[in-house]
């Protein structure tokens, strides 16, 4: 079969996206110069898919949230918590989320609600033992947001929910305040550019045994991932991997990879509600903004 443009194929076949209404968030600050790569757009391989080699059509999961919500993993240890600003898969064994997903819109990248130091609090919707501030006290690790407070300043209660410990992981300060924060700022910029983006992030647990902190033995991840999908125009996606230490490059795109690679590392199926052809296309190629 000839290689043909994806959207011509979609027009001929009447293909449409399978999606549900998602979540929304916002707030931006001054963005540093991210270089020539960041000034462009999510670029895809110019070659269209060879549909003669298309994978067997996958069985789609039941739609239980927005386009950003990953597929449920069979036998996974998780408690799904639906917030107004995000969805989290909390792991009661590790005491950190498996993943956190949200739909960041341009309208929610602004807001007048400010954070303050005493906002962190335990999540009463999960069983004991529950993580508290005491677990992080003198641990040497920051209380690292997965869904950022900066994406949720558009509503006071939504902002407060980001400080629940079911949305928090132990992060090295130089990561939390440096490259990870830069990526969060860039995501707000991209949400404004494309109208909205879909984001999933969380910890990567590489070792058989993990360092823990606090009386409740909160697991410290070795790395973190983030995947981003934009649906404006031609769908495009990108993944990022950061080490949980102070040795990450300041160049954001040096941490970029494909969504397929992040799926391989995590075992998580991202953006499963996309049409199969679109999902296979955008996840196989590392995009750029």
Residues with a known catalytic role: 145
End-to-end CA, the chain: 31
Helix (H, G, I), strand (E, B) or coil at 91: strand
The neighbouring-strand residues paired with 96 are 91
- Helix (H) or strand (E) holding 142, with range, is strand 142-145
Q: What is the dihedral of CA 10, 65, 105, 235, to 10 degrees?
A: -20
Distance from C-alpha of 183 to C-alpha of 191, rounded to nearest angstrom? 12
> 116 Cβ partners below 8 Å, 6+ apart?
none
Sign of CA dihedral 107, 84, 23, 259: positive
Token duo for residue 115: 């954070």
Give the Cβ contact number of residue 248 at 10 Å: 22
Distance from C-alpha of 72 to C-alpha of 74, rounded to nearest angstrom? 6
185, exposed or middle or buried, with CB in 10 Å at 0-12, 13-18, 19+?
buried
The neighbouring-strand residues paired with 237 are 229
Give the Cβ contact number of residue 18 at 10 Å: 13
What is the phi-psi region of residue 195: left when phi exceeds 0, alpha when psi lies from -120 to 50, beta otherwise? Answer: left
């Amino acid at each position: 079969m000839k290689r043909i443009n994806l959207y011509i194929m979609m027009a001929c076949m009447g293909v449409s996206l399978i999606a549900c209404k998602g979540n929304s968030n916002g707030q931006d600050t001054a963005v540093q110069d991210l270089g020539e790569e960041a000034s462009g757009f999510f670029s895809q391989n110019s070659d269209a898919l060879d549909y003669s080699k298309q994978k067997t059509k996958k069985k789609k999961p039941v739609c239980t949230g927005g386009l950003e919500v990953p597929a449920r993993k069979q036998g996974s240890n998780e408690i799904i918590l639906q917030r107004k600003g995000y969805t989290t898969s909390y792991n009661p064994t590790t005491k950190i989320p498996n993943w956190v997903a949200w739909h960041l819109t341009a309208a929610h990248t602004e807001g007048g609600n400010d954070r303050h130091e005493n906002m962190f609090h335990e999540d009463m919707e999960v069983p004991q033992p529950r993580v508290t501030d005491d677990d992080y006290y003198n641990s040497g690790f920051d209380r690292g947001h997965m869904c950022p407070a900066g994406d949720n300043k558009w509503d006071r209660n939504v902002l407060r929910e980001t400080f629940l410990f079911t949305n928090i992981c132990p992060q090295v300060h130089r990561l939390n305040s440096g490259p990870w924060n830069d990526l969060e700022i860039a995501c707000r910029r991209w949400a404004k550019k494309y109208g909205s983006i879909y984001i999933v992030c969380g910890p990567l647990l590489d070792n058989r045994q993990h360092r823990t902190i606090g009386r409740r033995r909160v697991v410290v991840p070795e790395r973190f991932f983030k995947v981003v999908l934009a649906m404006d125009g031609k769908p495009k996606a990108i993944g990022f991997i950061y080490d949980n230490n102070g040795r990450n490059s300041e160049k954001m795109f040096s941490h970029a990879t494909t969504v397929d690679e992040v799926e391989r590392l995590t075992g998580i199926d991202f953006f499963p509600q996309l049409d199969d052809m679109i999902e296979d296309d955008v996840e196989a190629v590392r995009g750029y903004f």
